[in-house]
Amino acid sequence: MNRYSPDIITADGADWQVQDGQGPIIATAIHSGHRIRDSLKPWLAIEDKGRLREEDPLTDYFLSVADTSVRANISRFECDLNRPRDICITRDPSKTWDLRIWDDALPDEQVEQSRAIHDRFYAAMKQLCGDKIAEHGRILLLDIHSYNFKRNGPDGDPAPADKNPDIDVGATTLDKAVYGDLLRDFAETLRSVPVNGQAPSVGINVRWEDGGNFPEWLHSIYGDKACVMTLEYKKIFMDEWSEEADIFALQHLRQGLLLAVEGARRALQQVAA
């Protein structure tokens, strides 16, 4: 039985779901959802396929590697849980890869409803993470995302491989004095499991200068009590244009992550001792 209230688990209509387990490892897929609430749909200015391409489908497949998981059911464009509250929903295309997501006439009251979701989510995560730290001393939180690398179309040239690793580990808020060895071993383990016969390329802080608002917020509250890593998977596990999944690639990537998590669990125990 879950020990948390419905506000934590389902957030007034399952905007997200928490599967609460025993242990210090938490995995989140906060961009995996696609649902848009009915009251927002009249102002939606992008077609469904274009919106899905900029979300992170299938990232929830990896959540089972952790003790506790958090999955967003709503689209990042209804409420982006990895952005600050004031831009968790935006009419400004410059903040959404020059895509026009919302009509300029989107009412302010609809914007405020999305910001209220953001407030509830962060309150829920503060309670969840605080409880886990009180119980275990430290936590490892993996915030799982994906990214497109064929923006020139299905037949166009892919993005340069040297700047777009198969897995980019974002560790900009991680205290390397405490977790540097854990981070190094985590990346090495990810590299050790072939994906469709080839070792995946794994970078650390290659693509982004930060992991987004969520990991920065966690670090600001918990400091080195929280080891937070953002995992950005290149969409080698699916076709970003046709949406067809490569189940074998997914399984291989999940196996590498599972091994990396188990190694990190042992390292976390040593740090907490």
In this prediction, residue 11 has a pLDDT band, given cuts at 50, 70 and 90, of: very low
Closest CA to 242 of 97, 74, 52: 52
Summarize the confidence of residues 32-46 as an average pLDDT: 97
Mean pLDDT, all residues of the chain:
93
What is residue 62's DSSP assignment?
G
In percent, the amount of the chain with pLDDT more than 90 equals 89
Judged against a pLDDT cut of 60, whether residue 10 lies above it is answered with: no
CATH architecture of 6-272: 3-Layer(aba) Sandwich (3.40)
Greater pLDDT, 209 or 127 = 127
Distance of alpha carbon 89 from alpha carbon 111, whole angstroms? 6
Q: What is the pLDDT of residue 1?
A: 39
Summarize the confidence of residues 168-197 as an average pLDDT: 96
CA dihedral 191, 76, 142, 121 (to 10 degrees): 180
- Tokens standing for 79? 């409420």
Summarize the confidence of residues 129-135 as an average pLDDT: 96
The pTM of this model reads: 0.94
In this prediction, residue 8 has a pLDDT band, given cuts at 50, 70 and 90, of: low
Q: What is the pLDDT of residue 233?
A: 98
Q: What is the pLDDT of residue 107?
A: 98
Domain boundaries, the chain: 6-272
Q: What is the pLDDT of residue 271?
A: 82
Summarize the confidence of residues 206-212 as an average pLDDT: 82
| CA-based radius of gyration for the chain | 18
